[in-house]
Amino acid sequence: MKVIHISDLHFPTEVPLFSLRWKMFTGYFNYFLRRRKRYPGKLYQSLINVIQSINYDLLIISGDITNVSHEVEFKKARELLDPLLNEKAFMIPGNHDRYMKSAIQPVDYFQKYFGEFLGENIKEDKYLKVKSTKEIPVIGWDSNFPSGIGNAAGRVDEKVIADTISYLKENGISKYLLVCHHPLWNPIGFEESKHHKMLNREDVIRNLKDTPPLIYFHGHKHSNFYKKPDTAIPFTIINSASSTMVPGGRHKTGFHTIDISPEKLIVKRYAYNDMTFVETDTIEY
- Kindly state the greatest CA–CA separation across the chain: 56
Whether omega for the bond prior to residue 243 falls within 30 degrees of 0, making it cis, is no
Q: Which amino acid is at 212?
A: P
pLDDT at 130: 98
177 near 215, Cβ under 8 Å? Answer: yes
Percent of the chain residues past pLDDT 90, beyond the cut:
79
Question: What digits encode the pLDDT tens for the residues 113-148?
Answer: 999 999 999 988 899 999 999 899 999 999 998 887
User: How many whole angstroms separate alpha carbon 95 and alpha carbon 197?
Assistant: 11
pLDDT of 44 reads: 93
pLDDT averaged over every residue in the chain: 93
Closest among 134, 235, 223 to 179, alpha carbons compared: 235
The lowest-confidence range among 101-110, 222-231, 265-274 is 101-110
- Is the per-residue pLDDT at 8 higher than 80? yes
User: Does residue 27 or residue 168 have the better pLDDT?
Assistant: 168
| CA count, 13 A, side-chain hemisphere, 151 | 13
DSSP 65-123: --SS--HHHHHHHHHHHGGG-STTEEE---GGGGSSGGGTSSS-HHHHHHGGGS-EES-
**184 domain-assigned:** yes
Distance from C-alpha of 259 to C-alpha of 279, rounded to nearest angstrom: 14
Q: Is the pLDDT of residue 281 over 90?
A: yes
Task: Assign residue 272 the CATH number of its domain.
Answer: 3.60.21.10
pLDDT band, very low/low/confident/very high, at 18 (cuts 50, 70, 90): low
Q: CA-CA distance, 76 to 12, in Å (whole number)? A: 9
Q: What is the C-alpha separation between 153 and 264, in angstroms, rounded?
A: 33
Query: Residue 285: inside a domain, yes or no?
Result: no
Q: 55: domain range?
A: 2-280
pLDDT in tens, 93-113: 999 999 888 889 999 999 999
pLDDT category of residue 58 using cuts at 50, 70 and 90 = very high
Distance CA 23, CA 107 (A): 19
The structural domain count of the chain equals 1
Number of CB atoms found within 10 A of residue 77's CB: 22
With bands split at pLDDT 50, 70 and 90, how would you rate the model's confidence at 263?
confident
